[in-house]
Chain A
Amino acid sequence: MSTDKPAWKARLLSHEMLLLYVLIAEWLFFYFTGTTTNRRGVIVGFGTIDRQFDILRHSCEIGLLALALTPVILTAGIDLSVGSLLGLCAILFGKFWHDAGLSIPVAAVLAIGCGAIGGAINAALITTLRLPPLIVTLGTYSLFRGLAEAITHGAVTYTDFPESFLFLGQERWLGLPTQAWLFLLVAVAVWLLVHRTTFGRSFRTIGFSPGGARYAGLPVNRRLALVYVLAGIISALAAIIYTARLGQAKADAGTGYELFAITAVVLGGTSIFGGSGSVHGTLLGVAAIAVLKNGLACLPVVMRMNAAEEMSGLLTGALLLLALTGSVLPKILSTLRPRRQPA
């Protein structure tokens, strides 16, 4: 069926490429409708470099969580706790620095260590007790957020971080928002892990067939543990750049981020049933959502209604459903096609 189709044609119609076309169309649409000139003749809105950097800056945290979730979802797992772990690690980071008087780098390393422990708790419950990841991480989703709020009594917010730290979240380095470099680094690392190492191969195998992976002698539990611990570590990184961007660490940091991140991963073509998907797809998914969200905020009509949040939620949902439909549509069409030809 698809075997005689030329390879380039299949590639141009892959999920990732289709998403890229959507992203370009989306971007062009907002470029032409969301860019205006103000009274003083200065170009404002979507089409400015500053706005583009802003989009990038604001995508980094959800982007990191989406990168963390891609290997997890490839193994047919899920991690709902990443947003809560982001909040907990932000609070712990603030506490290590402010209350314990540690230097920023030491506090950051400790916070990342805590992220790893958070991930390890998920991993231990999933691999040793064989509980479904959805239930385990639903539990730790509440647990981590609850811990963060208990530590701060729901009131304490850590602020007054040094300028040198805020540079990471608010300034530019070598032309790009500083945290974008970190994001890029993690993206490359996760891409290599998933697409160029035996680890990524194992994630897919486990996602497609956990029994098959076990019978092939693959260390299934160790690989599963790796994806959840990695998710914890990346969540902690996201917590640090979140704190640096806002200049404050608070217990509600990252609330609801896990859902945006899952949306980005699935939009990027990773199957929620595990096995198939790609890291570049995830990045495109993140970009598509970020451009949509920011572009809408620049549309005059949306600005008048003051409904950017609502609109972006609505359209993200629509885009996700469209992408899912689009990914199964070719299959449906290919089953219909032969029947149309008279026998």
Chain B
Amino acid sequence: MPPAPLLELRRLVKSYGGVRALRGVDFNLHAGEVHALLGENGAGKSTLIKTVTGAHAPSSGEIVIAGESVSGLTPTTARALGIACIYQQPALFPDLTVVENIALRLEAGATLRRLDWRARKVRAMELLARIGAAIAPDAEVRSLSMPEQQLVEIACALGAGARIVIMDEPTASLTQKEQHLLFAVVRELRGSGVGVIYISHRLEEIFALADRVTVLRDGESVGTHAVGDINEAGLIKLMVGREVAQIYPASESSAGEVVLSVREVGCRASGVHAVTFDVRAGEVFGLSGLVGAGRTELARVLFGLTPADTGEILLNGERVAISSPQNAVAHGIAYVPEDRRRHGVVLDLPIAHNMTMAIHPRIFPGAWLRFGAERSLALEFIRDLAVKCAGPDAPGGSLSGGNQQKVSLARWLATKPKLLILDEPTQGVDVGAKSEIHRIVRRLAKDGLAVILISSDLPEVIGMSDRIGVMGGGSLRAILPGKSDPHVVMAAALGTAEKGAA
């Protein structure tokens, strides 16, 4: 008989009010295993983690840790049982050093006691060495990169004797190189007998790293497979419950009049210089490039957040000066920003308020609020974009990432824009919502909207765009036709094509 699993969840149910977030999930994790957890946003992954880490108590079901049933789990007891969670955004104190942060996590006991700085430092260095992290123990956490901070978190978890490490989308903000570093650490953990629950939206990571994968859908486990027994298509099918026949909807629109014309536009403050391109009605103009290429910066220039100081911008053939976001909105430019939670949606305000935020003058003539009109507009968009929510009065923060993105999108569609700029619209969004967003974008283009699509997801930007602008170093390096070879796009982004042409 094999040893009892490190962690076993039996018929785990969690309800919030009337909503059942988990409907009887079975899950187990063995020592020395990386078990990936996959599912659309809202499928119940976060809830599952919260119950395992003791943040929320399950409504029914059983949590069994190393063969023993545990009830009344709290964050403190969970930690004592060796459960640690590494979040996407490390929760360290930025102004303290690495040693201090590790010490804060690990040292319990009396308030008044002598601090042994030498021992603290030795232990921190040991822990960092164990995961092969070359981080100066005296560095302030503020000065560390995101992956380095994650490594410090992992060191803390190890120091606390964690046997079960949960990683919640740890690579979301990492570069390729940083990812490999993290993967090495995860394999290291696995080798030392730790069980890792690994949550990610990136399928290729799961195939590279995990031993088994469990897919959650609508609060239920729809299957656990050994990674070798399943392929990407199979996983996507499990997640969305249907075959995704064609990942990217075909372009049905034909480009019309030129809506936006950008001529030698630059902005010293944000490092954008001499950008020239046109976008036509009905066209999806993709913007590709590596992180830091200046795509978001260009969008911010076009939206008036950092106004252009050189060149000219023409809208429908007329020269316009876009000096502020209000100005941009007045000209029919809409911008769905990259940072949903900070800029896209005001999390504390109801969905309805969020959706009407950019059309105050139009829906509320004379500045008087009209609650009825607002509500019906919100209901219309909730239906139209299939926003999953409790209703128009639910706060934006209560929605999953994909649904927040739809609210952000609805706000801008309500302005009836001529030009829609989408900045990473599907980042951190699950597969189902992603393809919904793709279909919406296609539909908008078909209706004659000019769309600029900024995306770091290469297949997405290639599959969705009619033309692709490739940026690098703040300028536009190339404009390629849609459905270009990914290698060509990547080469342009890296600047190798330029050299080849010269």
Contacts and interface: CB of A to CB of B under 8 A. Distances in A.
B342 A197 contact: no
Interface stretch (A135-143, A174-182, A334-342): A334-342
A276 B348 contact: yes
A205 B352 CA distance: 13
Interface in A1-51: 1-4
Given A211-B343, A339-B57, A196 B349 contact: no
B337 interface: yes
B346 A213 contact: yes
Contact of B71 (A4, A217, A343): A343
A215 B325 contact: yes
Contacts of A199: 367
Contacts of A204: 349
B368 A197 contact: yes
B24 to A, nearest CB: 14
Given A4-B18, A205-B357, A211 B58 contact: no
B329 A215 contact: no
B369 A197 contact: yes
B474 interface: no
A212 to B, nearest CB: 4
Interface residues of B, number: 42
Contacts of A202: 360
B93 interface: no
Interface residues on chain A, size class: 20 to 34
A341 B349 contact: no
A197 B342 CA distance: 24
A197 B57 contact: no
A343 B358 contact: no
Contact of A209 (B71, B326, B348, B360): B348
Given A214-B325, A339-B57, A209 B18 contact: no
A2 B19 CA distance: 12
Nearest to A5: B17
Interface in A311-343: 338-339, 341-343
Contact of B369 (A196, A211, A214): A196
Contacts of B66: none
A198 B360 contact: yes
Interface string A210-254: 011111111100000000000000000000000000000000000
Given A197-B368, A198-B364, A342-B71, A217 B57 contact: no
B325 A217 contact: yes
Contacts of B390: 3
B28 interface: no
Contacts of A211: 342-343
Given A205-B349, A216-B358, 20 more contacts: A1-B16, A2-B17, A3-B18, A3-B390, A197-B364, A197-B369, A198-B360, A198-B368, A201-B353, A205-B357, A212-B346, A214-B325, A215-B305, A216-B325, A216-B357, A217-B328, A217-B329, A218-B360, A219-B324, A343-B71
29 contacts: A1-B17, A2-B17, A3-B17, A3-B18, A197-B367, A197-B369, A200-B369, A201-B353, A201-B360, A205-B346, A205-B349, A208-B346, A209-B346, A209-B348, A212-B345, A212-B346, A213-B346, A215-B335, A216-B346, A216-B357, A216-B358, A219-B326, A338-B56, A338-B59, A339-B57, A339-B72, A339-B74, A343-B60, A343-B62
Interface of A: 1-4, 196-202, 204-205, 208-209, 211-219, 275-276, 338-339, 341-343
